[in-house]
Structure 1
């Protein structure tokens, strides 16, 4: 086999491959054998039909087609390896010459990973916001805890923000009740939002047995965005009474004996959360600092696919939240052009970051072991709410393990880069980044993942093989 590569762009290559017919012999023999099993020729047992008879009865062309289809993937992969190309998508293959018993020639155009000259990535500088816990943060946390143990009592006054009201509600379009838009005896907290636009404003000041009608738009179903008239009636108003934040409450809601100890624990947890948020922001800032130092060529096809996937994901999330894209843009004070520009920028940065981290992982000769792969499988399963073993089986059956291995390698590369960075907050204090995890996230070390990961059964060779390929 001979192969040559033509660079069409920094991210696209064209392979021209010549294959002598003697190298196609195993595929030709396999094609004759397969066809012999499929046909019935008088005088010959099934599977024992000679090649010359198959050529006469079925046609040499059919044999060549099957043999070429069998050989092409293996020959194409070998040509990629010979020319040190890393494909990013399926190739566009064209057979350009076929001379029976002499030569097969084909071309393959494919998006490939660009060659990147890595900039210096050690000691990058970045700045993040201060990690400060305010008294307001603590009070908000306390109120949330108190609300869990709060009680409701009926009141004889108009509803106010934060009250719980019992309501009957119906939405009509052109005088006709909208199917599925009628409820009765439902409890709702004023100010919570999420049911229908304009409801909270209407409820404030309403007393028991009062009714009000207001205009709104539906946010779900086939009538999403359609204008409706909404009638709401209040049948009950309840005020939430919160328990005092005292020693008794501390003993009820926590493992602490005193309110002082409980307060200190809340502050400590909030401080830890702020620190982790700050560390995650530092990770992003360091990666952005690296992106600013280099221009990475990006394949149009990969960008288009990723943009489409991101748009679909955002649309699904908005639909689950009962919100239209128009409403989201309005709340964010963005135009559709602004949204698209921001989305494209983020996608470009994400794809470029992947390429850079892949190169760093290569340069640092990073590898993974079976335990790391198993732990990553467990973490991914937990994130998606699936059984770890079922998730692992699915990943292996559908050949997604190389993708997971690449995620781990990128995470390790990111950890190396971030831990060597010089990151300070707005006050000039150094930010501690020593709690990076193996998958590249920044979080508190977990107590049990290693034990859980051990329960996931996966071929031990898988991590080693995919690590070597990466």
Structure 2
């Protein structure tokens, strides 16, 4: 087989393969079998139609085109193996020419990009907020606890935001009652906008005994009444406000496991400190990656970005489907059009690829590897979170070809840990900060699970037509 390979860019190659007439004739037999599965020819079962009959039915050009599709993937795979080239995305046909000897095909192959120079990361100073817990933070937590145990009491003042109105509400269209929008003795939190449109604004300033009547057009998403004008009538039976409990040692002992206010505040401070530290560590890691990506000198092939974007969009649409959310509804709810959605998806795809290229380069530079013990530990954790037996989960990963993907995810997480370790967090004034603290194992499991689901398309996919 005659094969030539030419550079088409830093990470792109054009592989030209020859399909001789003999190979093409052999491929026509398989092509005829494929085409016959969709043919209905009297006297023959689907898939059993003779080649000559298939050719007479679909035409010689169609059979030849199908034969090329049959022969090409194997020839391209053979050529790439001989040249030790591993595609990072599905190879695509760029050109096809007839020759006296058969057919000559140009196939573009995209390689996984590598960095000539890894941006400086050791000792890099990155600014983040200091993970400090202020007294105001603790006061806010205590106020939330007080709010949970607050009692409602009747008040005489007009309704203001944050009050609770006890109401009877009726709704009708042209005098016909709508039972689904009717409520009796409903204690409604004013300002929450959690029931029918316009209700909160109408209740503001009302008092016990007030009767409010108004018309409102319902949003399109509100079932059979969406887009229709509805008449609402509201009777305000009472106005109530929250009475917060006084913070005393007795109250603390009653509503928590602590006996004193000081003990409760100490525990809240400890928990908030852990939470803030974890949050700042994540922010630090994100900023380190962002700065290093910005410093990268690399042009990612458009074909690779397209493949990653298509994969991410496909996964996203699948998840929307699982939630029974039409794509058009999603665009309407988020206030964007399809063009903006695709542009955002492309930017995210390029960002995702850039991060992976960076982490691969740093991992190679640092000599970071994944041990068998680390792989087994990650699979056991993922199996436990999926409530599956470890052996069955591992077998499923191997059969689906995701062991390599999981290994890569673990490796990249280790690289991120290394970057966080050697970069230097500083505050807004340039003073170094300490972000020491162990990452939660659950965080690692979640990361690995997310990456396994969100991995890029398989690198050794079959050849597809570029038309």
Q: TM-score range by the shorter chain?
A: 0.5 to 0.7
For 1:180-203, what per-residue CA distance to the aligned partner results, in whole angstroms no more than 9, with x for missing partners? 555444433223344456543433
Deviation at 1:129, TM superposition (A): 1.9
The separation in 2 between residues aligned to 1:215 and 1:312, in whole angstroms, is 37
Which residue of 273, 276, 299 corresponds with 1:274?
276
Q: Give the alignment's TM-score, normalised by structure 2.
A: 0.67
| 1:130 and 2:130 correspond | yes
Unaligned regions of 5+ residues in structure 2, if any?
38-47, 449-457, 460-467
Contact 2:128–2:426 (8 Å) recurs in 1: yes
Distance in 2 between the 1:23 and 1:324 partners?
Answer: 49
CA distance in 2, matches of 1:400, 1:227: 54
Decide whether aligned partners of structure 1 residues 114 and 224 sit closer, same or farther in structure 2, where only a CA change above 3 A counts.
farther
Deviation at 1:144, TM superposition (A): 1.6
Distance 1:213 1:129, change over 3 A: farther
Residue aligning to 2:148: 148
User: Structure 1 308/324 Cα, relative in aligned 2: closer, same or farther at 3 Å?
Assistant: closer
Cα drift, residue 141 of structure 1: 1.0
Is the 8 Å Cα contact of residues 170 and 182 (structure 1) preserved in structure 2?
A: yes
Q: Count the aligned residue pairs.
A: 425
**Partner SS, residue 121 of structure 1:** coil
> Which segment drifts farther, 350-359 or 123-132?
350-359
SS in 2 for 1:126: strand
Give the structure 2 partner of residue 414 of structure 1.
416
1:295-322: CA deviation from partner (whole Å, max 9, x where unpaired): 43242524753785799799999x89xx
Q: Distance in 2 between matches of 1:413 and 1:196?
A: 51
Higher RCO structure (Cα 8 Å, ≥6 apart): 2
Deviation for aligned residue 1:139: 1.7
Partner of 1:118: 117
Q: Distance in 1 between matches of 2:84 and 2:350?
A: 27
Q: 1:328 to 1:95 in 2, by over 3 A?
A: closer
Q: Is the alpha carbon distance of 1:394 and 1:198 closer, same or farther for their aligned partners in structure 2, counting shifts above 3 Å? A: farther
* 1:419, distance to aligned residue in structure 2 (A): 1.8
Aligned counterpart, 1:43: none
Q: Structure 1 pair 242/181, CA: closer, same or farther in 2 (3 Å)?
A: same
1:301 to 289, 306, 323: 306
Change (3 A) 1:215 1:294: farther
Q: Which moved more, 1:277-286 or 1:403-412?
A: 403-412
- Spell out, residue by residue over 1:265-317, the C-alpha distance to the aligned partner (whole angstroms, 9 max, x if none): 11121122122221111111111211221243242524753785799799999
Distance in 2 between the 1:325 and 1:449 partners?
32
SS in 1 for 2:266: helix
1:445, CA displacement in angstroms? 4.5
Distance 1:325 1:96, change over 3 A: closer
Between 227-236 and 204-213, report the one with greater CA deviation: 227-236
Normalised TM-score (structure 1): 0.66
Distance in 1 between the 2:230 and 2:113 partners? Answer: 54
